[in-house]
Every structure is written in C-alpha cells, then in structure tokens.
Structure 1
Amino acid sequence: MAGDWTAQPREAALRREPEPGRLPAEVTGFVGRQRELAELAGLLAAVRLVTVTGPGGVGKSRLALRAAARATGAFPDGTWLVDVSPVQDPILLGHAVLKALRLTDGTARPPLDVLTEQLVGRRLLILLDGCEHLVDACAELAESLLRALPGLRVLATSRAALRTSGEHLLTLAPLPVGPVRPGVLPDAVRLFADRARAVLPSFAVTEANAEAIGLLCRRLDGIPLAVELAAGRLRALSVEQITARLDDRFRLLTGGARTALPRHQTMRTTIGWSHELCTVQERLLWARLSVFAGSFDLEAAEYVCAGEGIAAEDVLDLLAELVAKSVVLREDSAFGVRFRLLDTLREYGGHWLRAAGGEHRPLRRHRDWYLGVATWGEVEWFGPRQAETAERTGLAHTNLRAALEFCLAEPGEEQLALLLAGTLWFYWVGSGHLGEGRHWLDRALSLDREPTEARAKALWVTGYMATLQGDLAAARPALEECRRQAMDTGDDRALAYAVHRQGCAALIGDEPDRAAELFEEALWHYRTIGELNSNVLMAMFELGLAYIFQGDRESGELWFGQARELCEEHGEQWAYAYVLYAMAFSHWLGGDVRPARTLARESVRRNHVFHDLLGIVLGIDLLALLETEPAGPEAPGNLCEARVLQGAAHRIWRTVGTPFMGSRSFFGPHQECAKRARAGLTEQEYEACYAAGTRLDLDAAVSRALGSGGPADGPGPTPGPCSMPPAPAPSPVRNS
C-alpha cells in the first residue's frame, strides 16, 4: 500500500502450537517483545521458577504464553496453562491446578499430595497466570512442587513477586513509544496500527498521521492494554480527537495518590477514560457484570444485571457495545457465544459497583441464577441430555464457586449454601469432582446445623461421596444423622436417600446381605414417594451387585435388566454405564468372555464422556481381568496387557480415593487378574508391564482399555517386556 509505513514483514496471528502443549492459540497478532522473549527463553532454559512481573495491562500474560508456546519442545509432558484469576479461595488453588492439568482428583487428600504423586517423573512446564491476588498460596504451591518434582519448571505472571526461594524475575516494561520515523515504527505504534486495522481495515500509519499516533502512544506510556483500548475508539473518533479527550481525562483522574507509579496512574486513567466513554447504562452494566467469575452467557447477564436502570431487553445491545469498546471479550463455545471481562476491567467495574453501594442485588441475583443452573442441571441429569448437562455445568464451574463463596460468606445465606452444594451432587459425582464437592459441603454443614431439607440433602450427598472415596468413617455418621433427621421431621424423600446410601456403605463395607436389605427398603421408599431418577436406577444396579456378591447371579441379573430397560426408556446414560459394568462382571462369572469384554468397554467409553473416574477405573480393572482369558483354543490370554491395564487403573484409583473403595468384593477381579499374571509372567515382565501402565494418563488409559492403544504409549519410555508375546494364561478360576 503506497504511503503505508507498516507495509513491511510483520508477524501474523500465531498458528496453534503442536501437541503436547495445552496452551490456547493466539487470535490477535503478537507485536514486539523480541528482546524480552529471548531473555525469558534463556531463563526458562536455565532456572526452574520465573515470574514475569509488571503493572496491569502491560502484557505479562501474552508474553508468558508466547514464551511457553515456543518452549513446548523442551517439555515432552506438555506446557500447561493454569488461569489463577478466577480462583478466589487459596484452598481451591490446588484443585484448579489439578483441573487445568486434566488430573481431576476425587480423594480427600490435599491436592498438593496428588499433584506431587501424579507428576513424578514428568518433564513439564506449568504457567500460573494472574497470581497477584493469591500470591502467598501460589508461592507455597510453586515452591512445594519444585522441591518434589525435579522435572518441573514454573512460569508465573503476577503484579508482585512471589518472593520464594529460587525465583528469578523478569520485569516487563511498557512498549517502546518513539520516535516515529519512515520505515521504523516503535512497537507501541505497531501495536496501535495492528489493532486499529481490526476496527478500520483501511487504517495505515502514514506521514500525515504518524506524529499524532506517536504522541498518543507516548501519552499512554506504551502500555499495551491502554494502546488497544485507544485503538478501539477509532470507530467514533480520529487519532487527534482521541488524544485530545485523553488529555482531558488525564487532568481529571491524576489527582489521586501522588506516590502511585505514573504507569499505574496511566492505566487507571485509560480504563477510567474508557469508562467515561460509555453511556450511563453501559457503565452500569459494566459494574454489574463484575460479579461474574469467568465466562457467562447472554441469558445469565440479562437475569443478573437487569432492573433498576437497565431493562432486560436492553442488555443485549448494551453488551454488544461493551464488546465493541473492548471492555468485554466475546468467546465461542459449543453452546453459543459467551462473554468474559478481562480481570483488570472486572476489578474496575467491581470498584464502581461497591462505591455506588449496589453490589448486593447483583450478587444475590448471581447466586439465584447459578442455583437455578444447578437445579435445572439436576433435573436434566435424568434424561438424554446428561452429557450436555455435564459440559454446561463445567462451563459454569467458576461462577458456581463464586456463588457458593458468596453464600458461605454472607450472613443468613447458609441454607442456600447447603442447597446449592447438595444440588450439585450430579456434577461432583458424575464429573469427577468428589474432593471439591466435599470441600464445599463440609464448610456449609459446619455453619448451620438447623434440621432443614437442605441440610438433609447435604448430609446424604456428603455420605454418598465419602462412601465412593472409601471413607466410611465419615460416610456412616453423616448418613445416620440424615436418617434420624428425616424420621424426626417426616422428610420421606431424605429418608429414602439416606437408606439408599447406607446400602452403598454396607455394600462397600463387604456386607452384601445387609446392603440388599437397605437397597430393597430404599426402593420401596422411592416407589412410595413416586421418585424416579438416576439415583433410583443406581439403587437397582447396586441391589443387583449385592446379590451377585452373595453368589445369586439370577437375582442380580433381574435387577440389572430392570435398570437397563429404564435407562433405555428415559435416555439415561450415566447410570447405564454402571449397569453395563455390572452386566459385564456377571457375564464373566458365567464364562461369557466376549460379551463381557464388549459390555465393559462400552461402560468405560460412556463413563469417559462424563469424566466419571470411579466408573472408568472399575471398567478398566475388569477389562484387565478379561485380558487374561483365552481368546480362543489357540489364542492364550494377554497377561502383559492385563498388567498394563492394572497399572493404569492403579494410577486412576489414587485420584478417586481408597483403591476399590476398600471393598474386598470390588477388589476380587484385581486379585484374580494379578494372580493369573504372576503365574504366567516372569517377575521382570510382571513389574515392567505394570510400571508401563502407571505412566498412562487418563485419556491414554481409556484408549488402551478400549483397544485403540498399541504398546504402552503413555508418557515416558515403554519397557521392552510390554511388547513381548504374552505367556500362556492359567486356567480360569471363578467364584460363581
């Protein structure tokens, strides 16, 4: 383009980095910072903890993400982004790291212990982004992990240093701002031009406007966020008009603390100026949107933010204006468009909301909306939309946390905290968040002991989750309290659930006779009150298992059949996966190996959709046993593959709780499999194949169990014995 001083080779938007990195692709061009990138690359190669510091809006996250993407090849086990900004409770930092690394844990163990165990032997980079509000917790986490894991490196971004041993700092300055000469543009001007073309495709830095752009960028101190916000104003103003209005705002907003850094004053001025350019309604919406943690959809914004100055039907247009003014980010998801406030802008909006004394109404409406999300999710969980419900609830996870935190911190909200945490049982259990679910429930139960329906529900949910973790010492008192309260208050529904979950505790406690009695009683209660949902179907499956463990396959299969029919009738998938597991187990007991393997694989596949770790690991352990069975007269079982799957299952069990929930009955298939493998493999093969399985991550373990994996293809080298022809298996031994 003639006269365009930016018509020179420049870096376009980044393409997605190759696996095994787990970093988001950049959607806008990365301008400048070559010296800082080189310095950061050198630090990452030489030291184990680097913190990028600097003022808000200076580009710490962008620089760290670009450096991490470039370093991917040095970390065979991945470069992983952990967004710390939505996490408000330091106790939940470990849970957030587990989720970001796809190491969801459901035990009662501290997340730090789980991370240390799961990451041992790995070579990876973790990017902790936005640590300033949890600087002490992030420092403690980083130091503990680095001491325990020699293959780990940590890159952090924070407005303040972590101040922990071994930390190396890279302080990020604003972009260079001048001088502007033909063919030589400072990085701040290049950034302005790049973002301006997103607003006005014909925009160019020319001899006529170069001086004005340079002046504007200097007045903005070269802070990237300020430059980008200014470029967004080109929709309505010329460069000269922007500079003139900015001068007015400087005089207006720099009368604060004289000791504040100029760049901080400039950032506040820039955001404040952007705030001033909004209409009264847009400012009000901006302030109210600050109650959201993470992303939200239009419907949530309409409910939470409408009223007292904003009509519900106006929220869409106002939100679109905030997106156009670069105040709100627009994101695409599987469920349509979602929105998010940048953290700095969210803080600014929150300041104005609090200053106006108007935070309580949107906070309560936010709580009500996400209580509705949980309630509707519980209803939708029983039906053909279960997988979608799990995904939608996952998108709302950070806002659900914020709603729970509000309920626990606000006097008089304790019952709603119990209700919300209890209603989310389907997400805690069905999507692999047992540990976090118990965290919220334990806090809520400790605050309010009034015998209400909400407390009864929280008690049986707590007892249920503790049972699945193998923590019967905590489960039994909670379930007994729920049962006593239900009988005292006449709460028939709570009584049904308490009895049902007491049956689960008896089943896992190796009392199948007692379990069967309790399940029969629970099903009677369910029929009496007209209850039919996933819990009821699980009671049928569990009753069938109780009969199987007593040696009564005929009665067990009758209950499995009833549960399967109801699952298929209502489109239920989650309980169906457990029914399939039970049917596979029963088929194995009857010597029907092929259908058993088909059913077990389908069970694992369905549970993997929900990320239900317990269902996945039960199925994998059963498939390991089935690998020991002869595939035909001339085809012996694959004992080495069986041990690989057992190793993979062991790793998953450690993230669920006590292996096999501490139950001898559930432990039986594993013992039989190990016995057969030990009899047919050398000691070296027996141990090496197992060790190879422990290196498979969750997705690789599932792929292996479903028959789509080759030799042990998890992280780390594969020992030779796992590719050797398996030794013949001993004769099957069953307890039918």
Structure 2
Amino acid sequence: MPLSEAPTRCETCGDELPARGDGPGRPARFCSRACRQRAYRRRSGDQQPEVEQPEVEQPEVNRGATSARPLPASRDAFIGRAQELTDITALLRRSRLVSLVGPGGAGKTRLATEFAARAATTGPDGVWLVELAPLTSEHLLVPTIAAALGVREQGGEDLVDTIVQALQGKRALLVLDNCEHLVDASASLADALLTGCPQLRILVTSRESLDLPGEAVLRVGHLSLPDDTPVARSDAVQLFVERARLLRPDFEPTDATRQVVAEICVRLDGMPLAIELAARWVRVLSVEDILARLDDRFELLSRGPRTAAVRHRDLRATIEWSYELLDDAERAALRRLSVLAGDFSLDSAGAVCGTSPQATLRLLADLDAKSLVVAVPGVVQRFRQLESIRLYAREKLVDAGELAETTERLVGWLTGLAESHYVDQILYTVEDDGPKVDDERDNLLQAVEWATERRDERLTVLAAALGGAWRRQGHTVQIRKLLEAALTITKRDNPYRSLALQELGWFSYNAGDFERSSELAVEAMELEEPRGRPVALARGLALLTVVYQSTDNTAASVRCAERVVELLRPLNRPLDTAVSMHNLGYALMATGDLARAAALIEESLPVYLELADPVKQLETLHSAGALALERGQHVQAGDYFLRSLEACPEAGSPAMYPIEGLAVVAAHTGEPKRALLLGTAMAAQLRKWRLGREPYWQRHVDVAMAAARDALSAQAARETTEAGERMTLAQAIAYSLRTPLAEDSPLSQRELDVAMLTAEGLTNREIAVRLSISERTVETHLLHIRTKLDLRTRAQVAAWAVERGRVSSRN
C-alpha cells in the first residue's frame, strides 16, 4: 500500500496514529497493542484472525471462565432470599461494587452463587466466580484471580495491569467469595479493577466490607423466622423441612412438630448453615430430640456433607474462622460480651469489657463491621450477639479463666443501676440518657441467678429491679417466686430488703391480694423510716396509696399521697414532684374534693407532657379526663381520653383505661352501641390481664354500661356485647381512634402521620405541635416506626414515607 494511502487513525478507538518512517513493513492500523487486541476479540467470533501476530502474546479472558470450575450447579432448592436477590440487582445498577456482609453461616456464598447463576444467562460478557477461602496468603490473591480469568502473565508487566487490560471494555460480573481473611488485599485489587475497567461490576461476600468509595453494602442476616411471619411462610422453617425431606422423604411435619421446627429455627437465629446442619439429624432423631440437644449445639451441629469445606460442615469451625481473624483486644471483648444475654448497651458492654466509653464504641464498631455483633434495628446504641456466637465466645471466656471476673463486673454494674433506680429517683426524665433498668431484663436475670447461687447480699436489689422490669411488662406470675426466694436467702438487715418487699407488694396488688400487699408495704416502710432515703420511702407510700384506693379507704389513701408529696417536693425534681402531685390529685377525686384535685392535676400535667415517658403521659391525661367527667364536662373528658390513648397506643394494659374512659363518654353523649362495645371489650381484657378497677372508677363504668344497655334493644345489646368480647386490644384501640388499621402497612395511623411529617422536614417539636401531642410521644412513635420497618435512621423513615406517598391525616 502506498504511503499516501496508509491510514492515519486507529481502527479501534479513532485516535490519531503515531507517525512512522518510510521503512519497510505494513502500515500501522492501531495506536496500541490494547486496541489491536480489542479489535481481534471483536473479530474472533466471526472470522479468523489476521496472519499478523502480536509482538508479545496478549492477555485474553476466557469468556465465562471461573476458578477451576464453572458456576456450580444447584443440587438442592434455593430457599428464601427473594428480597436480597432483588436488592443485589438494584444495588449493582447504582454501584459497581456490592458487598454481601454477614456472619458465618448466613448463606452469603449461596446467595452470591445463586445471583451469579441467574446473571450468567443474561450477562453480555460473562460472569466469573473466584473462591478465596482456600488462599493462605494475600500474595496468592492476584495470581488466583488471573488464573480464574484465564489471564497469563506478560513479561515485564504488572499482573494487575494485565488483568485490567483484559477486562477493559467488558460488561462483566466478577464474584469474589470469602474475602474476610484477605480484606486489605481484596480491597486494593477491587479498587484497581474498578478504576481501570469502567463497565466491570464486582460482587463480594465477606464478614466485613471492603470499605471502598462507592461500595454498597447489603447485610445478609437471618432467614425470616416465625416471629416475623406465620410459621408456614417462614423461610427458616421451609429450609429445615426441605433439607430434612432430602434425607427422609417421608418427613412431613404436623402442626405440633412444625412448631418444634419453628423453635429450632429461632434458637439457631435463623442462620441457614446451622438450620441445615440441624436438619441432617432427622435421619436418627425426632425434631423434639434435636431441639433438646441444642444446648450442646457445637457437638450436635458438626456433621455436614463430606465434600464441604470444614467451616461449612461444623458450626464451631465456622465461628472459629471469624474468631481467628480478630486481634487480641477484639477477642477479649467478644469473650467478655458473652456474659450479656439478649441485647446490650454501650454502658453494659463497657462494664463487662472493663474499657472506656470511647474504646468500647470502637470495639463494638469493629465487631459489628466483622458481623460478630449486630446493631438492634430501630434502637440507638444497642447491640446483640447471635446465640451461637455468644455460646462459642462463652466457651472461650471459660477457657481464658475470665468468667468469674467478668460476671462480677456485670453484677456490680447492674447493682449500681438498680440502686440508682430504686433509691435515688422515682422516674427517669427525658434528659436522662443513661441506662434503664427495663432495658437490662435479660442481664438482670443472669445476675440474679449468679447472686442466688452465691447467696450474695446484692440479690435483693437485683431481684427488685428484675421484678419491677417484669411487672412493667405485664409478667407478674414469675415475680412471686423470684422475690420470695431473694427475701428468704438474704438477712433482715440487708439494706435493699425493703425494695424487694415493695416489688412483692406490687405483685400482690396486681393479683388482687390487697391485704398481703398492705402488709408488705408497711414492713418495707418500717425498714426505710430510719434509713433516711426519701425516694425509697416514698415508693412504699405510693404502693399504700393505691392499695387504700382499691379498698375504698379514701382518707388513708389521701394521707399516704400527701406524705409522698412532702418527701419528694424538697428534692427539687420536677417530674418526681409532678408524679406525687398527680397521685394526690387522683386520690382526692375519690373524696369529692374536686377543686384541690383539679389544682394538683392541672399543675402537674404540663410537666408530664414535657418530661414523662408516654405511658406516664397516658396515665395523667386519663386522670384529667376522669376529672372532667366528675365535673360533667363530657366533651372535654373525651378529648383527654383520646389524647391519653394517642400518647401511647402500644402501652398494653395501661391503654385499657383511656378506652374505658371513651366508653363512658360515649354512653353520656348518645352513642350507646359504641359505649357498650368498648366497655365490654375492656372488661374482657381486664379479666385476661387479671386487673381490677378502683371502686371510684368502677362506679363510673357501671353507671355508663347500664345506661348504654338501657338505650339499646335486648337483641342489639346482646349482639354488641358478643362483638365486644371478641374484640382484641389492637382492634379496640383502632376503633377508639376512629381510624382503621392500615391494610398495607404495619404502622398505625398516628405512626403514619409522624412518618409523613418527618418526610416534610419537621422537627420532633414541630410534629408535636402539629399533632397536639408531646415531643416525647413523637420520639416514641419514631422508635416504633424504625423497629417495625427495620430502619435505623430518621432519614430512612423520611425516605420510606416519600416512597409510599403517605399523606398526613391532619392538615
């Protein structure tokens, strides 16, 4: 070809070709070896390459190649994870690096493999899966990936650059499986590949993320459990049944045994590996036997398939793999956290680890990043360990000889917390961000068991704290045995004995045994009088106040309530004082002293709405409604009762009383059917919870229900009564609020309102003003929203509301 006819631009990229002399040889057609190679690859599927050979053998990716084997064909059914597969697709559209992060045994590899197999059918330039778990050195990482891609080393060229050159221009998916032991090297390589290959996408499985810019992280947790969905629809239960049938084709669980399977899945945290290992035992054990043996799960769950990697056929080996990757400080923290049952806070974690708040936060963040602790959804700064990880860590704690020392730190911390709650304050205020007794129920139970075994004098205050936490959750049956045992073990001069007596007194009160409750309260007061602890003494008097109200001894009730005000007012604690004033005002209503009662309740109400928790707000708004009833102000009473219910619709048994108030108001305002329906429903609920009414309030309810029945025909009254007895508490709350439960959302209407106003950018205070509720109630609604929707931030709540197109029910 004459020189004048030689091409001047690259046939591949169109760039100008470099000038060359008049020497012999064919004219250049490409500006670089890379462009020549790309042109060759485009032609190779349709025609033979030119006779011309490159000066140096160029790297070539074998289309669809994998690490020593093709994408593995499934041998059993892929169960669940439909949402995760959808999420991976969506994330890979937005980000070129997606990391599947979760604890060992969560099924990250199986999920990634399933996604890769589906993507391979539509991927334009291939899918590669590279298994990194067998690698023992980061120096093997790049050669392993090069071999999996079919890329050969080029003389004098860095192998990473060669891989980049081979993948340039390819719309391919690279799956890097099990990166956690090579996380730094994997991050460095992924960064280079993504920088040099604009169309490449990488899917990573690891127990911690690569922490690269633009990385999207999808946490792979448990399969859906019976706690979240009906048993028959639980993915965890379906996985157990499916794997069991492979080994025993006749395995067909009944309703009863399916419940046992459900409990197995819950005990195993919904983790796929543990569930599959447990299901293998159906060949020789009943599901009841499998459940009974889970206390020694590491011995039981150690017989996986022969061809599986050790960490995939032995639960202990799975967790050991993660444990060995930790540094000494992280291992020590993981061991010591094992004494904490259930979820825990930064404070409790710091107490058992013996570390400063800053160090504790760093350690928890590191363990969370490595999927060895998990943040509790919807709750700020609370964490938990999966049960299998906790049991493994406890073994390590015993082996290290640290069990007694660590447990002693926990017991000491909980004792201080219980003392603060019972001796120093009646209620927590909104400004108090410290640990709460009710949040430590599981840990308190462990501490009580430990103190009981050692007949430790701290047992009484720990038992009182646990008893109070259980009582506030409605679990009264267990309290008697717990507290009576503590009082039997400890001496009469124990400084905390009165606290246990008070809690036992509350148990007796809730059980309707007012005589026994009074005896216990009087004994507690006798012990407290000489100790000079006004708050502890006031607690006993507060118990006597309600006992006397329940026995219609109104004069004695008022005297006790007045003494409580005298004890607490000098302490200059606004909320504690407001509580005592409210209680006195309610006691005075029963005596007919409405003027004094009104003054006390009206003075205490603003303090409650600003500082008290939602349940206490519910109580004082109910009292304001009762006062309005006494004055014959039915419309105002109804408004107070409605606000009371709105303050905390999920309060459980306390919500019954404002609903009863609304029933009473309905009877007085011409809605007899509504009155009888709600009144009957609450009477049934009170029987269910074994709760009663003070004689003063009972008279209000009896008069209203009689009036409602008289206003209806016999048949209408009978039908309404039957409907009320069938009504659940949740249905009664929705009916009382006159708003139906949302069919397509787990949120109540009020929670939907809060979510929408959050999306509109309003602060908690502005939302409170808009909805005529307190700021504290808004905080509680947001906590419930995050918990129900498994969201962790306010921004996520706002995004959810916008996406769902919610509209506030108030203008």
Which residue of structure 1 lines up, in the alignment, with residue 413 of structure 2?
Answer: 369
Give the aligned residue type for 1:382. Y
Helix, strand or coil at the partner of 1:446: helix
Please say if residues 594 and 627 of structure 2, whose CA atoms lie closer than 8 Å, have aligned partners that are also in contact: yes
Which residue of structure 2 lines up, in the alignment, with residue 6 of structure 1?
Answer: 71
TM-score by length of 2: 0.55
Please say if residues 608 and 616 of structure 2, whose CA atoms lie closer than 8 Å, have aligned partners that are also in contact: yes
Helix, strand or coil at the partner of 1:602: helix
Alignment partners' CA distance in 1, 2:316 and 2:741: 56
Cα shift readout 1:381-421 (whole Å, capped 9, x = no counterpart): 432368x889x655533223222332333332x3x232234
Which residue of structure 1 lines up, in the alignment, with residue 647 of structure 2?
Answer: 606
Cα 1:301–1:267, aligned 2, differ >3 Å: closer, same or farther? same
In structure 2, which of residues 532, 549, 564 is the aligned counterpart of residue 522 of structure 1?
564
Which residue of structure 1 lines up, in the alignment, with residue 618 of structure 2?
Answer: 577
Shift of 1:157: 6.5
User: For structure 1, which runs of at least 5 residues remain unmatched after alignment?
Assistant: 68-128, 133-138, 140-153, 163-170, 178-214, 221-225, 228-262, 631-636, 712-736
In structure 2, which of residues 698, 707, 710 is the aligned counterpart of residue 676 of structure 1?
707
Give the aligned residue type for 1:702. I
Give the aligned residue type for 1:334. G
Which residue of structure 1 lines up, in the alignment, with residue 595 of structure 2?
Answer: 554
Alignment partners' CA distance in 1, 2:533 and 2:420: 22
Alignment partners' CA distance in 2, 1:693 and 1:540: 35
RMSD: 4.7
Alignment partners' CA distance in 1, 2:230 and 2:445: 24
Which residue of structure 1 lines up, in the alignment, with residue 733 of structure 2?
Answer: 702
Cα 1:691–1:404, aligned 2, differ >3 Å: closer, same or farther? farther
Alignment partners' CA distance in 1, 2:266 and 2:629: 61
Which gives a bigger RCO, structure 1 or 2 (Cα 8 Å, sep 6+)?
1
Which residue of structure 1 lines up, in the alignment, with residue 665 of structure 2?
Answer: 626
Alignment pair present for 1:648 and 2:681: yes
Alignment partners' CA distance in 1, 2:397 and 2:345: 20
Which residue of structure 1 lines up, in the alignment, with residue 508 of structure 2?
Answer: 466
Cα 1:407–1:533, aligned 2, differ >3 Å: closer, same or farther? farther
Alignment partners' CA distance in 2, 1:389 and 1:292: 18
- Higher mean Cα deviation, 34-43 or 550-559? 34-43
Alignment partners' CA distance in 2, 1:690 and 1:40: 50
Which residue of structure 2 lines up, in the alignment, with residue 330 of structure 1?
Answer: 374
Cα 1:389–1:689, aligned 2, differ >3 Å: closer, same or farther? farther
Alignment pair present for 1:382 and 2:428: yes
Please say if residues 525 and 541 of structure 2, whose CA atoms lie closer than 8 Å, have aligned partners that are also in contact: yes
Give the aligned residue type for 2:695. R
Alignment partners' CA distance in 1, 2:264 and 2:656: 46
Kindly report which structure 2 residues correspond to 1:7-46, keeping only aligned pairs within 5 A, or say none.
13-15=81-83, 22=229, 34=242, 36=244, 43-44=252-253
Alignment partners' CA distance in 2, 1:700 and 1:156: 39
Alignment pair present for 1:348 and 2:392: yes
Give the aligned residue type for 1:629. H
Please say if residues 14 and 26 of structure 1, whose CA atoms lie closer than 8 Å, have aligned partners that are also in contact: no
Cα 1:521–1:54, aligned 2, differ >3 Å: closer, same or farther? closer
Alignment pair present for 1:158 and 2:291: yes
Shift of 1:546: 2.7
Helix, strand or coil at the partner of 1:463: helix
Shift of 1:315: 5.2
In structure 2, which of residues 672, 675, 680 is the aligned counterpart of residue 639 of structure 1?
672
Alignment partners' CA distance in 1, 2:323 and 2:316: 10
Please say if residues 673 and 720 of structure 2, whose CA atoms lie closer than 8 Å, have aligned partners that are also in contact: yes
Cα 1:3–1:654, aligned 2, differ >3 Å: closer, same or farther? farther
Please say if residues 608 and 620 of structure 2, whose CA atoms lie closer than 8 Å, have aligned partners that are also in contact: no
Give the aligned residue type for 2:680. G
Cα 1:58–1:370, aligned 2, differ >3 Å: closer, same or farther? closer
Helix, strand or coil at the partner of 1:296: strand
Shift of 1:578: 2.1
Shift of 1:629: 2.1
Give the aligned residue type for 1:513. A
Which residue of structure 1 lines up, in the alignment, with residue 581 of structure 2?
Answer: 540
Helix, strand or coil at the partner of 1:396: helix
Alignment partners' CA distance in 2, 1:431 and 1:348: 31
Helix, strand or coil at the partner of 1:608: coil
Cα 1:41–1:21, aligned 2, differ >3 Å: closer, same or farther? farther
Give the aligned residue type for 1:462. L
Alignment pair present for 1:616 and 2:681: no
Alignment partners' CA distance in 2, 1:30 and 1:320: 33
Give the aligned residue type for 2:546. C
Please say if residues 224 and 236 of structure 2, whose CA atoms lie closer than 8 Å, have aligned partners that are also in contact: no
Give the aligned residue type for 2:490. D
Please say if residues 463 and 482 of structure 2, whose CA atoms lie closer than 8 Å, have aligned partners that are also in contact: yes
In structure 1, which of residues 592, 612, 615 is the aligned counterpart of residue 633 of structure 2?
592
Shift of 1:363: 0.5
Shift of 1:274: 5.3
Alignment pair present for 1:401 and 2:475: no
Give the aligned residue type for 2:64. A
- Higher mean Cα deviation, 329-338 or 354-363? 329-338
Cα shift readout 1:64-113 (whole Å, capped 9, x = no counterpart): 9999xxxxxxxxxxxxxxxxxxxxxxxxxxxxxxxxxxxxxxxxxxxxxx
Cα 1:514–1:551, aligned 2, differ >3 Å: closer, same or farther? same
Alignment partners' CA distance in 2, 1:688 and 1:172: 55
Shift of 1:585: 1.5
Cα 1:174–1:695, aligned 2, differ >3 Å: closer, same or farther? farther
Which residue of structure 2 lines up, in the alignment, with residue 449 of structure 1?
Answer: 491
Cα shift readout 1:637-688 (whole Å, capped 9, x = no counterpart): 222222221232123313543422xx32221122112212221233443233
Alignment partners' CA distance in 1, 2:397 and 2:475: 33
Alignment partners' CA distance in 2, 1:491 and 1:710: 47
Which residue of structure 2 lines up, in the alignment, with residue 284 of structure 1?
Answer: 332
Alignment partners' CA distance in 1, 2:353 and 2:741: 53
Kindly report which structure 2 residues correspond to 1:188-227, keeping only aligned pairs within 5 A, or say none.
215=307, 217=308, 220=310, 226-227=311-312
Cα 1:598–1:58, aligned 2, differ >3 Å: closer, same or farther? closer
Alignment partners' CA distance in 2, 1:426 and 1:54: 28
Cα 1:377–1:359, aligned 2, differ >3 Å: closer, same or farther? same
> Aligned residues: percent identity?
20
Alignment partners' CA distance in 2, 1:641 and 1:157: 51
Please say if residues 521 and 540 of structure 2, whose CA atoms lie closer than 8 Å, have aligned partners that are also in contact: yes
Alignment pair present for 1:510 and 2:543: no
Shift of 1:321: 5.6
Alignment partners' CA distance in 2, 1:620 and 1:56: 38
Cα 1:335–1:546, aligned 2, differ >3 Å: closer, same or farther? closer
Cα shift readout 1:538-566 (whole Å, capped 9, x = no counterpart): 43223223322222322221221232244
Give the aligned residue type for 1:363. T
Give the aligned residue type for 2:392. Y
Which residue of structure 1 lines up, in the alignment, with residue 354 of structure 2?
Answer: 306
Alignment partners' CA distance in 2, 1:657 and 1:54: 28
Please say if residues 14 and 27 of structure 1, whose CA atoms lie closer than 8 Å, have aligned partners that are also in contact: no
Which residue of structure 2 lines up, in the alignment, with residue 659 of structure 1?
Answer: 692
Please say if residues 507 and 546 of structure 1, whose CA atoms lie closer than 8 Å, have aligned partners that are also in contact: yes
Q: Count matched residues.
A: 521
Which residue of structure 2 lines up, in the alignment, with residue 145 of structure 1?
Answer: none
Shift of 1:622: 1.7
Please say if residues 625 and 642 of structure 1, whose CA atoms lie closer than 8 Å, have aligned partners that are also in contact: yes
TM-score by length of 1: 0.60
